Amino acid sequence: MLKDLFFIIVSTVLVNNFVFSRFLGHCPFLGVSNKTETAVGMGMATTFVLTMTAVAAYFIQSFILEPFGLTPFLQIVSFILVIASLVQLVEMAVLKISPALYNAFGIYLPLITTNCIVMGVALLIPQKGYNLIESTIFGLGAGLGFTLALVLMSGIREELEFSDVPEALKGPAIVFITAGLLAMIFLGFTGLAPL
């Protein structure tokens, strides 16, 4: 049991990293990886929302969609509904409970609504047939993997600022190349976890 949970974490963070191996969430991955500081903020906010979504997705799938046989055509719609309201709820709660944290998250919190990792996690949970605890860990791992990817990328991009990049590759081009190399490096984790 514990072993399974450990494997889920290793799998989502390293082997099947959502950014590098499933190629989800590339918009924020390229958009907010300019500075490590903002990358950490975005990663934390996303991890938080992902864990919540995983729990919500599990409940909706097993108590509404499956018993009534609605999965084939209502799954995506209901998940969109849940994710959007969940993010709003989290935003309001964070603003009230900790304005400092709210300021730290800034614009990133509402942006998570459109992050496709969130939808990806929600759709993968029923596919994999996880139970409640496994789903939660799966969401958490996805968030940690996303944070890892974001922080790695921002670190590299901060160094890139000071390096002599060929004129033609300046800007987005070198970032795409870097992302590709990172994805290939993550290929090296294949086989680390049996999932």
Partner 1 sequence: MNLILIAALSMAGLSLVLASGLVIASIKFAVENDPRVDRVLEALPGANCGACGFPGCSGLAKAIVEGKAPVNACAVGGATVSQKVASIMGVSDVGSSEDKKIARVICQGGNKEAKLKSDYRGVKSCRAASLVNGGPKACSFACIGFGDCAKVCPFDAITMSDNGLPSIDEEKCTGCGLCVKECPKFVIALTPKKNEVHVRCRATMKGKDTRDVCSVGCIACKRCEKSCPFDAIHVVNNVAVIDYAKCRNCMKCVEVCPTGTISAAFAERKKAVIGDKCIGCTVCAKNCPTGAIQGELKKKHEVNLELCIGCSICEEKCPKNAITMVRAGQKQESIKACNTK
Interface ranges with partner 1 (CB under 8 A) = 60, 64, 68-70, 73-74, 77-78, 81-82, 85, 88-89, 92-93, 95-97, 162
Smallest gap from Cβ 86 to partner 1, in A, equals: 8
Query: Two tokens at 153?
Result: 């990328």
First to last CA, the chain: 14
CB of 1 or CB of 73, closer to partner 1: 73
Residue placing its CB nearer to partner 1 in the complex, 101 or 151: 101
Report the residue number, 108 or 146, with the smaller CB distance to partner 1: 108
Looking up tokens 């160094």 gives 159
The minimum distance between CB 56 and partner 1, in angstroms, equals 10
Residue 70 or 123 with smaller CB distance to partner 1? 70
Least separation, in Å, of the C-beta of 64 and partner 1?
A: 5
Alpha helix locations (H) across the chain? 2-10, 26-31, 36-60, 66-68, 71-97, 99-105, 108-111, 116-128, 132-160, 172-187
Min dist CB 92 to partner 1, Å, is 4
> Distance between CA atoms of 152 and 146, rounded to whole angstroms?
10
Rounded CA separation 179/174 (Å): 9
